[in-house]
Amino acid sequence: MRIVCATQHDNATAMCRLDYNPTTAFAGSARGRLRGDTALSCCRATYLPAHSRGSFSNHWGTWMEIADVVKRAYAMPLTNPSFPPGPYRFFDREYIIITYRTTREALEAVVPAPLEIDEPLVKYEFIRMPDSTGFGDYTETGQVIPVRYKGQHGGYVHSMYLDDDAPIAGGRELWGFPKKLANPKIVHEGEVIVGTLHYGSVLCATGTMGYKHREADHDSVLASLAAPNFLIKIIPHVDGTPRICELVRYYLTDITLKEAWTAPAALDLRPHVMADVAKLPVLDIVSAVHFKADLTLGLGEVVHDYLADHSRSAASATQLEKVSA
């Protein structure tokens, strides 16, 4: 059998052709002759079938250069990302959103500055996504808190639980969505829509809503979908310190609302150490809406850099100390 390998001889890389002898070979190695009479011992050899014999460069291709790494580095892993580049379009995306009143103290413990709390409300969302480009077919649930940013009304995405790897990886890496792997479900049971969240074997949330009692106001639903949403994107450094800590704003775009309904609803949240939806307790239900839409998940923009702000504050404090001294 013919073998092609690359090895280091006298501080120079050489390509050699070897005659493989199974009686003398040892694991991952072979002995042979460099084109001529130079004897060598190679650390590793690649065994090529007859149709693949040829030059070293033809077999191995072109080495990945630094510029190639940067060009391809939009997601991890580098050579086999968990999700493709956008845009990310969703078809027949089904929402059940139950808005409830909670305590202001609970919200103050989780809403980061410079966002401001409006009323002490939370939107608990169950979302069924049967058809999305790049991310596939999955279900999601979580909590969105109505907030203001510099006078602009929107929603702060506090928690998200879903059952598909691609949108978890893409959501966290691109935007900073607080996504965790869990098992949310939406099912239609007779005259009721039921949404549940299991984290492992534990039931953490149950939402129930009447099925299409009254048509909802389409303009109000479209306005809520068009409002900005906010996230905290956190990427640690390799030493565990923060490398990226940013407030991100994103929008849903190209929205086609297909139907929208309202009905009575109920919501039960239960404690769990890793799915802490119950830390925003339900005091009373304000409203519920059930709708379907086609839409595009737009990419984000950074509106506040926490690390830059911290650096400026630290520099100012140091300057004041010098002046005081």
Among 297, 280, 261, which residue's Cα sits nearest to residue 204?
280
Alpha carbon distance 26, 43 (integer Å):
10
In order of 12, 16, 28, 50, 51, the CA distances from 55 in angstroms are: 18, 10, 21, 13, 12
Looking at the annotation, which residues are catalytic?
Answer: 179
Spell out the residues 6+ positions from residue 236 whose beta carbon is closer than 8 angstroms to its own.
242, 243
In order of 1, 136, 182, 186, 278, the CA distances from 168 in angstroms are: 47, 12, 10, 19, 22
Sign of torsion over alpha carbons 205, 196, 210, 146: positive
- Cβ neighbour number for residue 300 with a 10 Å cutoff: 21
Beta-ladder partners of 31: 41
Spell out the residues 6+ positions from residue 313 whose beta carbon is closer than 8 angstroms to its own.
none
What is the secondary structure of 211-277 as a DSSP string?
Answer: SS-EE--HHHHHHHHHS-EEEEEEEE-TTSSEEEEEEEEE-EEEEEEEEEEE--EEEEE---SSS-G
